[in-house]
Amino acid sequence: MPIPSGSEQIWAFFNVKLDEVRLSSPSGSEVDVTLQDGRTFEGTVVNADLHSDIAIVKIHSKTPLPTATLGSSSKLRPGDWVVALGMSTFPQNTIQLGNSGGPLVNIDGEIVGVNIMKVLAADGLSFAVPIDSVSKIILHFKKSGRVVRPWLGLKMIDLNEMIIAQLKERDATFPNVNKGVLVPMVTPGSPTDRAGFRPGDVVIEFDGKPVESIKEIIEIMGDRVGVPMKAVVKRANDNLVTLTVIPEESKPDI
């Protein structure tokens, strides 16, 4: 069976290719890698992460190969110019099948992302995995051979003034907060369920640090699995409760 065609970039530090996992074979499998100049090399799938659709393929070459320079996606700002590279046969300026897995580069030619998808219902709207996130995935692969992601087992919503006002209209006992992270649902049997979290809780502190967004909670957890962390939540009538949750490792189907 032929392997679907996709774009590649060779990463200088590890002499590997980053590509989408759906275009790659399972870990340990052999694949053919064709460069822009027509040369073809044997490659081995070293690691793959189902959550991010990122895989690492080691290219077997007896001579040095061209390498790309990595930039920093955290330095990007709205309005910055970027270019999605690939081997698409379509004239549109959106990410198609052949573009997926290709590099997203800034005006200095530095890779700032990996192209992954386009929104079919929105013309011209496409997405990429930030290169900073890819770099973290690479570090996880080097450290443990997989990406370790903590799982709490709850849904979270970032609160803002409009959402808070609407919730207070529905329920006068909703806690008095300006910001925080609302918990609308807790998965039965999950780490947060065992810790005592309830739907309607507003997380205002996590692991000793004030939090106002889901992103902050994720950053605080990092890759810590099995480590007790204290969370301070506000409940109805402004009752403050301190809970201790022990994150578990997320599975691909969670």
| Residue 124: predicted pLDDT | 60
- Model confidence band, residue 19 (pLDDT cutoffs 50, 70, 90): very low
Q: Are 95 and 117 in contact (CB under 8 A)?
A: yes
CATH topology of domain 10-60: Thrombin, subunit H (2.40.10)
Distance, in Å, from the CA atom of 108 to the CA atom of 20, rounded to the nearest integer, reads 24
Q: What is the DSSP letter of 199?
A: T
Please state the rounded mean pLDDT for residues 11-25.
Answer: 44
CATH 2.30.42.10 for domain 150-249, yes or no, is: yes
**pLDDT tens digits, 189-246:** 999 999 999 999 999 999 999 999 999 999 999 989 999 999 999 999 999 999 999 9
Mean residue pLDDT across the chain: 82
Lookup: tokens for 241 = 């409760």
Q: Where are the domains of the chain?
A: 10-60, 73-144, 150-249
Residue 197 is which amino acid?
Answer: F
**Residues 227, 247: contact at Cβ < 8 Å?**
yes
Judged by average pLDDT, the poorest of 40-54, 112-126, 132-146 is: 112-126
Domain 73-144: top CATH class: mainly beta
The model's pLDDT over 108-138, given as tens digits with 9 standing for 90+, comes to: 999 999 887 655 544 566 788 899 988 888 8
What pLDDT does residue 77 have? 94
| Same fold across 10-60 and 150-249 | no
Closest CA to 254 of 168, 206, 191: 191
Could you tell me whether strands 10-11 and 154-158 are parallel, antiparallel, or unpaired per DSSP bridges? unpaired
Percent of the chain whose predicted confidence (pLDDT) is above 70: 78
Phi, psi of 163 (to 5 degrees): -65, -40
In this predicted structure, the answer to whether residue 13 has a pLDDT above a threshold of 60 is no
User: Which has more pLDDT, 201 or 92?
Assistant: 201
| Cα distance between residue 233 and residue 212, in whole Å | 12
d(CA 225, CA 247): 5
